[in-house]
Chain A
Amino acid sequence: MTMNDVPKIITSRFDQGDAHTLDGYRRTHGYEGLAAALEKTPQQVADEVKAASLLGRGGAGFPAGIKWTLAPANVWPRYLVVNGDESEPGTYKDRMLLERDPHQLIEGVLIACYAVGCGQAFLYIRGEMAHAQERMAAALNEAYAAGFVGKNILGTDFSVDVVLHWGAGAYIVGEETALIESLEGNRGMPRLKPPFFPAAKGLYMQPTIVNNVETLSNLPWIIRNGVDEWNKLGAETSKGTRVFAVSGHVNNPGVFEVEFGVTTFRDIIFDPKFAGGIRGGKALKAFIPGGASAPWFYEEHLDLPLEKVAIDRAGSMLGSGAIVVMDEDTDMVKAALRLVRFFARESCGKCTPCREGTTWMEKIMQRILDGHGRPEDVALLMDTADNISVDFMWPPRMTTICPLGQSATTPIASAVMRFKDEFERYVGGPIELNVTVKGAAFIGPPTRKKEGSGV
C-alpha cells in the first residue's frame, strides 16, 4: 500500500505500528481531543462540529453536525450507534480505521456522546472483520481500564458505556435503520423513513444518532485543532479530508486520504502519488465513483472534483469513497451481472420489487451471459429495472423502503445505455429499448461545458 503524503487527519497513524495500543495512541496526541471537549460545554462541542460541516462519510453525505441536532429536544435516553458495517463493494477504509487506529474512533464516539447527551454507545462492526473486532475489543478494554470510557470519564460526571457489537453477514445492515433492527436482535430489514428517522425513533424507538466510522474518527482532530484549521481544508461544501479506496485496473491500488472536494478523479486515478494510472498502459473504459450502487462514470467525468454536489449533479454519487476502475478490456456485461448478483443476494426480501426484481434481473443477465439471451431480453431487463426504478431518475424514485433495489438497476442502466453493442454481441441482434431513462450519467456525456473555464 502506498499512502499519499498530504494531508493526513484520520490516517495519520496508519504507519505507526503501535497506534492501536493505548500507549501508542496517547504518544501521538491520543485522547487530547476528548480532554479538550470535556473542557467545553456539550453545546460548544456540538456547535463546533456543526460549524465544521463534517459530511457523513458513510454514503449519504449528510452533515454530521446537523444530524446531531435532529434529535427531538428533551427526549431521553438518546443512543449513539456507530456504523462499522462496511460492505459496499469497492469500499475499504473503515476496516483500516478500526484495525489501525481503534482509539481514534473510541475518542470520536466519546466526543459525540458528550456533545449529544447519548446515554450509551454501540459500536456495530461487520461480522466478517475478526481482526477489527479484536483490535476494538483490546482497545476498549485498555480504554476502560485507563478511565477513558465508562463511569466518570477522566474524573468528570460524563459517563457512557461503549458496547462492542458485531454483525453476522448482511450487506443491508449498512443501511442505518436496518442496522438498528439488527442491533435490536432482529432481521436486518430497513424501516420506512418517515416515520422511523433514527434521530427521532431509532434504537428501541428512542432518538438515535447513527454515524459512520470515518465520520466519527475525524472528531478528535477537529476538537483538538479547532474548526478553523479544519475548514482550511477542502472545498466550499466539502470540508476536511476524505479517504478513498481506488481498486481495479490501476497500477497502484490503494487507500488515499485526500483533501475533500479539491482533488479530481483524474488526480486520484492517474497521479503517481495516488493510483498511478491504468495498468499496462491500457485505456480507461469506465469507473464507478462511489461504490456498487453508483451510476458509472467515464472518461468525460475525470475532471470532476471528488465533491458531493458536483457528482450528484452529474448523475452519480460519491457514496462511500470507493472508486473502481475498469480498463478497455473489461467485459461490461459480466461486470454488470456481478453487481446485479450482489444486490440480488443481499436483498433483505422486505419489499416486493427488490426481492423479486433483483433476482429476476440476475436470471435474465445470467441467461444473456450464458449465450441463451434474445435481443428482447435486454428490453425486458431494462423494463424490469424500470419497474424498480421508474424512469431511471437520479436520485431514483423510490418504489422500495431503502435504495438497494434501485441500486441494482444502476449497473444495468449504466452498462446497457453505454455499452449496448456488447449486449448485442451476446444476444446476436439489435436491441430496441422502450423505456424512459432520465439519470444524467446513464444518458451520455455532459453537454454543458465547465462554467467559466472557457474551454
Chain B
Amino acid sequence: MSDTAAPTTVAITVNGVAVEAKPGELVIDACERNGVYIPRFCYHSRMRAVGMCRMCLVEIDGGRGPALQPSCMVSVSPDMKVFTESPVTKKAQDGILEFLLINHPLDCPVCDKGGECPLQDQTMAYGPGESRFVEEKRHFEKPIPISDLVYLDRERCILCDRCTRFAKEVAGDPLIHFQGRGNLTEVNTFPDDPFSSYFSGNTVQICPVGALTAKPYRFKARPWDLEEVESTSVVDSVGSRISVQSSRDRVLRFVGVDSDPVNWGWLTDKERFSFEALDHEGRLGGPLMRGNALGKLDAKGDQLVRATWAQALGAAASALTEAGPSRVGVLGGARLTNEAAYAWAKLTKGVLGTDNVDAQLADGLPADVVLGLPRATIDEACTPGGVIVLLGPDPKEELGALYLRLRHAVIEDRATLIELTPRSTGLSKFAAHRLHPRPGEVGELATALVADVAPTRAIAGVEPAAIAAATAALRSGKPVTVILGRTSLAEGTDAIVEAALTLRDGFPGVKFLSALRRGNVHGALDMGLSPGLLPGRTTLAASRAAFVDAWPNVPTATGLDATGILEAAASGRITTLVLLGADPLRDFPDAALAKKALETVEMLIAVDLFVTDSGRLADVVLAAAASSSEVDGSFTNLEGRVTAVRQKVTPPGTARADWMIAAELATRLGGDLGLESVEQIRAELAALSRIHEPLATGAFGDRDGVLITGGSVTVAPRERAVVPKSDAYSYRLIATRSMYDLGTVLQHSSSSAHLAPGTAVLLHPLDFDQLGVEAGARVKVSAAKASLHTIVHPDAGVPRGSAAMLFNQPDADVGGLLDARAAAIDVRVERV
C-alpha cells in the first residue's frame, strides 16, 4: 500500500463539463449520476454488463483520441473525456435505434409495455420519423407461455440478454436461453421444460420492451392509468420494497423497488403475484358468525353466515370477558403491521391481561433467541469474503429475496458458505462446506465445530474431516454471520438454540440474521406478541413496572406459547381462542393437536382476510384489511429494519384495519385503548420503547427504512435435548417448506395457487435402493402418531438415514406426523 489514501473521486469531463466520478465506476453510471442519461437497453446495474445492445455507445477519449465505446463496459479513468452528444455518437446511436426497430412490431397500442417502454421512449425522443425498412419483418409465433406465469412474444424481443442473464446470473435458473444464431436468434426454453423459476416475474419487470409479460397483468391496464405508492411486501419477512400500482381502486401489480440494503429490486413470484389475493372472490368483505342454511345467525349452526360488526364484535367481546385472562389464548400476528401488532398487544396484555399470546406457531424459534442474539443486517451477512453459516430453513424456499442476496455474496463476492442444515438446500451447490447433521443433533455438531481438538469420529452423522474443514473456515478471521431459523419442523428448537449459543460463545464477533419466515413476525415480536414479552424488545419480567402506568391490566406471569395454548385449548383449560391471521390446522407442526384444540374451544375467533381451514371452525370471523396495500403502517423485517407500508386501495366491503378491530374490541370489553390513529399508536409506542422512536419521528419513511437496534432481551441457556436413538428400520424425518404450499395468501393468488408441488418422501439413493421399488412408487410413511401414504423418490440431497418431506402440501397431511414437543421424529417407510 502506498502512503497516500486511494483517491475517492476521479475527475472526468462529460461533454466538456468537469464532473467527479467514483473510482471504478462505469461511464454510463458516472454520467447518469451527473445528470447525463445515456440510453441503454441491455445494461442493468444489478447484472454484469455485456455491452451487446450497443445503444450506449459514446465517444470516449482516454488519452488516445475519441473512440466509440459502450459506456456500460468502460470504467472511468483520470482525465477521461466523454462525448455523449457528438456527431459520431449521435450517428451511432441513431443507427442502433433504427436497427432495433426494423424487426420490432408496431403493436404498441396493444402491448402491455406501451407507455413505460424504453424502446418506445427512445424512439419518441430520438427516433426516425418513418421506417426505411420495406422488407418483411421477422416472424415468430405470437406470445407463447414459457411458464405458468410468464408469456414471451419473440417478435418484440430485442435480444438484450437481460432476462437470460437474470435467469442464469441472479436466479441461478438458466431455463431460458438464446437459441439459434444471428438474425434468427430467439429466447426460449428447452422443449417442454418451462421457465419454472421462483423468480421468473423479475424478467418481466426488467424486459426493456414488451416481449415478456406476466399472466396476472396482461391487458389489465395501461401505465398512464396506474397510480402507485411505494410500500413493503408482507409475504415474507425479508420486507422487499415494492411499488403498489392500482387503477380504479384495484391493485393491478406489484413491481420490485431497488432497496440497496434489502432486495435490490428483485421479488419472488410469490410476492409479486400475491396482489391477486387482494381481490380474490373469497376475500372477506365483512364479519361472519355461525348460522344455519337460511343465513340466520345460530350459535350451533353448521355454517358461517354474514353478521354485522356490532353482532360479531359483541359476541367476541362477551366470550373474551366470560373466559377471563387465564382461559384466553391468542395465536398469530405476523400478518399485522407494527402498529396493529402494538394495538393487539395492548388489547391482550394491557386490557385482557393475558400473556397467552404467540405470534409464532411453534414453527419458528423462541422469541428470546431471535431478539437476544447479536443481530446482523443482510449487508453484514453478505460481506464480501465473509463466512455465512446456514443454520435455518432453505432460503430459496422460504425467503426468496434473501436467497438471491446470499447467492450473490457467495458467487460474486466470494463469501464462504457453511451449511448446518439437515439436508441440502437451494444454496448447497455453492456451499464450501456442506455439513448435514442428523435432525435433532446440530447442538453436538456445533460443539465439535468450536472444539480446540478436531473430532476423531463422526458427530451427528458428519465426518470429522468435514468438521475440521468448516472449523478452519470459521476461524479464518473473517466476519461470521449465522442465518438462524428453523431447520426442519420435525425437530425441536433446543438443539438449534444450543448450536446458536455454542457458535456465539465459540467465535467472538459472530452475528445472527434471523430467518423466521412469516411476514411481519419480527414486528410482532418487537411489539410483544409472544409469551413473556412486552413492546420494545423487552420482557415482562424486566419491564412490567414501566407498563403498569400506561396499560390498565398487565399480566404478572409469563403465559403459554403456541404449543401450550393449543394443548390447553385441547384439554379445555383455554376456552376462547383468537386466531390473529393464524391457520394452525395448516401451519402448526402437529395437525392432530391443532384440530383437537380448535374443535374443543368454546369460542373460536378468527381475524383474517379469508376464511382459512382453521377459520371454517370459527364462531366469529372478523374481516381484516390487507397490510400490503390497504392500510398505512410499518413493517419490521428480519434484520429489524422498519419500512413503511402504505394504503393504496380501500379494503373490500367493511373489512377494517387490524388495529381498529383491536380498538373496537377494547371498547366493548369496557376499556379504551386510547388509540385513534396510526400516528398516535407510533407516538405511544415510542414513549414506551425508546428504540422505536424513529417511528414517531417518521424517520423510517424512506425507501431503505430505519434499522431498529437494541433491546434488553437475553437468551436463556437450554438443556441439551435428549434425542432418542433410532432403530435400524427407521428414518429421521426432515419436514421443510417449499415456496409454494397451501398457505393462505398463495392459495388465493389464482395464478400461483396450483404451483404447490405436492407430497413425496425423499430418501438418499442408497436408502431408496434398499426399499426395492421404482421411483414414484407409493409407500406408507408411519410415525408414532400417525401414518400416511405418499410416493417415494431418491434424492442425493438427503443424508443416509433421513427421510425428507414437504410440509403443508396437497395430497398428504405431513403435519399429522409431527409432534411439536419432540426433539426428533422417526418414521418408517414401507412399500405398499
* Chain A residues close to B by CB (< 8 Å): 170, 187, 192, 195, 344-353, 355-360, 363-364, 367, 380, 386-388, 390-391, 397-401
Q: Say how far A413's CB is from chain B's closest CB, in angstroms.
A: 16
In contact, B185 and A349 (Cβ under 8 angstroms) = yes
Q: Could you list some 6 contacts between A and B, CB below 8 A?
A: A352-B100, A353-B96, A360-B102, A364-B135, A386-B95, A387-B98
Q: Which residues of A contact B57 (CB under 8 A)?
A: 399
Q: Say how far A35's CB is from chain B's closest CB, in angstroms.
A: 44
In contact, B132 and A355 (Cβ under 8 angstroms) = no
Asked if B103 is at the interface (CB within 8 A of a chain A CB), the reply is: yes
In contact, B92 and A399 (Cβ under 8 angstroms) = yes
Would you list which residues of chain B between 316 and 374 have a CB under 8 Å from chain A?
Answer: none
Q: Say how far B303's CB is from chain A's closest CB, in angstroms.
A: 61
Query: For residue A188, which residue of chain B has the nearest CB?
Result: B181
Task: Please judge, given known A-B contacts A363-B135, A397-B67, A397-B88, whether A353 and B182 are in contact too, CB under 8 Å.
Answer: no
| B73, B132, B159, B183: the one within 8 Å of A358 (CB) | B183
In contact, A192 and B178 (Cβ under 8 angstroms) = no
Q: Which residues of B contact A348 (CB under 8 A)?
A: 181-182
Cα distance, A319 to B133, chains bound together (Å): 33
In contact, B95 and A353 (Cβ under 8 angstroms) = yes
Asked if B822 is at the interface (CB within 8 A of a chain A CB), the reply is: no
| A170, A357, A397: the one within 8 Å of B99 (CB) | A357
Cα distance, A445 to B67, chains bound together (Å): 27
Q: Which residues of B contact A344 (CB under 8 A)?
A: 182-183
Residue among B73, B99, B102, B132 with the most chain A CB within 10 A? B99
Q: Which residues of B contact A357 (CB under 8 A)?
A: 95, 99
In contact, A401 and B102 (Cβ under 8 angstroms) = no
Q: Which residues of B contact A391 (CB under 8 A)?
A: 88
Asked if B70 is at the interface (CB within 8 A of a chain A CB), the reply is: yes
7 closest residue pairs by CB, A with B: A387-B95, A349-B185, A356-B99, A347-B182, A359-B183, A349-B182, A363-B135
List 12 other contacts, CB 8 Å, given A349-B159, A390-B88, A399-B54. A170-B181, A187-B181, A349-B185, A351-B54, A352-B96, A352-B99, A355-B159, A355-B183, A387-B91, A390-B68, A397-B88, A399-B92
In contact, A352 and B55 (Cβ under 8 angstroms) = yes
Q: Say how far B602's CB is from chain A's closest CB, in angstroms.
A: 67
B149-173, CB under 8 A of A: which get 1 and which 0? 0000000001100000000000000
Query: For residue A387, which residue of chain B has the nearest CB?
Result: B95
Asked if B53 is at the interface (CB within 8 A of a chain A CB), the reply is: yes
Q: Which residues of B contact A187 (CB under 8 A)?
A: 178, 181
In contact, B182 and A400 (Cβ under 8 angstroms) = no
In contact, A398 and B68 (Cβ under 8 angstroms) = yes
Query: For residue B138, which residue of chain A has the nearest CB?
Result: A359
Q: Which residues of B contact A355 (CB under 8 A)?
A: 99, 159, 182-183, 185
Asked if B291 is at the interface (CB within 8 A of a chain A CB), the reply is: no
* Chain B residues close to A by CB (< 8 Å): 50-55, 57, 67-68, 70, 73, 88, 91-92, 94-96, 98-100, 102-103, 132-133, 135, 158-159, 178, 180-185
| A359, A360, A390, A398: the one within 8 Å of B182 (CB) | A359
Q: Say how far A205's CB is from chain B's closest CB, in angstroms.
A: 12
In contact, A399 and B95 (Cβ under 8 angstroms) = yes
Q: Say how far A439's CB is from chain B's closest CB, in angstroms.
A: 16
| B51, B95, B96, B178: the one within 8 Å of A349 (CB) | B178
Q: Say how far A378's CB is from chain B's closest CB, in angstroms.
A: 13
In contact, B135 and A360 (Cβ under 8 angstroms) = yes
In contact, B51 and A360 (Cβ under 8 angstroms) = no
Task: Please judge, given known A-B contacts A356-B103, A359-B183, A360-B133, whether A351 and B92 are in contact too, CB under 8 Å.
Answer: no
Task: Please judge, given known A-B contacts A344-B182, A360-B135, whether A390 and B91 are in contact too, CB under 8 Å.
Answer: yes
Task: Please judge, given known A-B contacts A349-B159, A380-B132, whether A397 and B103 are in contact too, CB under 8 Å.
Answer: no
In contact, B95 and A388 (Cβ under 8 angstroms) = yes
In contact, A399 and B68 (Cβ under 8 angstroms) = yes
Task: Please judge, given known A-B contacts A344-B183, A358-B183, A390-B68, whether A352 and B158 are in contact too, CB under 8 Å.
Answer: yes
In contact, A400 and B183 (Cβ under 8 angstroms) = no
Cα distance, A361 to B73, chains bound together (Å): 28
Q: Which residues of B contact A195 (CB under 8 A)?
A: 73
Cα distance, A357 to B95, chains bound together (Å): 9
Q: Which residues of A contact B182 (CB under 8 A)?
A: 344-349, 355, 358-359
Q: Which residues of B contact A387 (CB under 8 A)?
A: 91-92, 94-96, 98-99
Cα distance, A52 to B58, chains bound together (Å): 39
Cα distance, A400 to B132, chains bound together (Å): 22
| A170, A356, A390, A398: the one within 8 Å of B183 (CB) | A356
Q: Which residues of A contact B183 (CB under 8 A)?
A: 344, 347, 349, 355-356, 358-359
Q: Which residues of A contact B132 (CB under 8 A)?
A: 380
Q: Which residues of B contact A401 (CB under 8 A)?
A: 51-52
Q: Which residues of B contact A353 (CB under 8 A)?
A: 54, 95-96, 99
Q: Which residues of A contact B95 (CB under 8 A)?
A: 353, 357, 386-388, 390, 399
Q: Which residues of B contact A349 (CB under 8 A)?
A: 159, 178, 180-185
Query: For residue B66, which residue of chain A has the nearest CB?
Result: A397
Cα distance, A391 to B92, chains bound together (Å): 11
Cα distance, A288 to B95, chains bound together (Å): 28
Cα distance, A348 to B70, chains bound together (Å): 18
Q: Say how far B70's CB is from chain A's closest CB, in angstroms.
A: 7
Cα distance, A364 to B136, chains bound together (Å): 11
Residue among B54, B94, B184 with the most chain A CB within 10 A? B54
Q: Which residues of A contact B52 (CB under 8 A)?
A: 350-352, 401
Q: Say how far B352's CB is from chain A's closest CB, in angstroms.
A: 63
Q: Which residues of A contact B158 (CB under 8 A)?
A: 352
Cα distance, A124 to B721, chains bound together (Å): 61
Cα distance, A353 to B103, chains bound together (Å): 12
Residue among A349, A364, A388, A398 with the most chain B CB within 10 A? A349
Cα distance, A380 to B132, chains bound together (Å): 8
In contact, B70 and A192 (Cβ under 8 angstroms) = yes
Q: Which residues of A contact B185 (CB under 8 A)?
A: 349, 355
Query: For residue B178, which residue of chain A has the nearest CB?
Result: A187
Cα distance, A329 to B583, chains bound together (Å): 86
Q: Which residues of A contact B55 (CB under 8 A)?
A: 352
Q: Which residues of A contact B181 (CB under 8 A)?
A: 170, 187, 347-349
Q: Say how far B513's CB is from chain A's closest CB, in angstroms.
A: 31
Q: Say how far A406's CB is from chain B's closest CB, in angstroms.
A: 11
Q: Which residues of A contact B102 (CB under 8 A)?
A: 356, 360
Q: Which residues of B contact A397 (CB under 8 A)?
A: 67-68, 88
Q: Which residues of A contact B98 (CB under 8 A)?
A: 387
Q: Say how far A133's CB is from chain B's closest CB, in angstroms.
A: 22
Q: Say how far B389's CB is from chain A's closest CB, in angstroms.
A: 28
Q: Say how far A293's CB is from chain B's closest CB, in angstroms.
A: 16
Residue among A348, A363, A399 with the most chain B CB within 10 A? A399
Q: Say how far A431's CB is from chain B's closest CB, in angstroms.
A: 16
Cα distance, A349 to B186, chains bound together (Å): 10
Query: For residue B100, which residue of chain A has the nearest CB?
Result: A352
Q: Say how far A127's CB is from chain B's closest CB, in angstroms.
A: 14
Q: Which residues of B contact A356 (CB under 8 A)?
A: 99-100, 102-103, 183
In contact, A192 and B99 (Cβ under 8 angstroms) = no
Q: Which residues of B contact A170 (CB under 8 A)?
A: 181
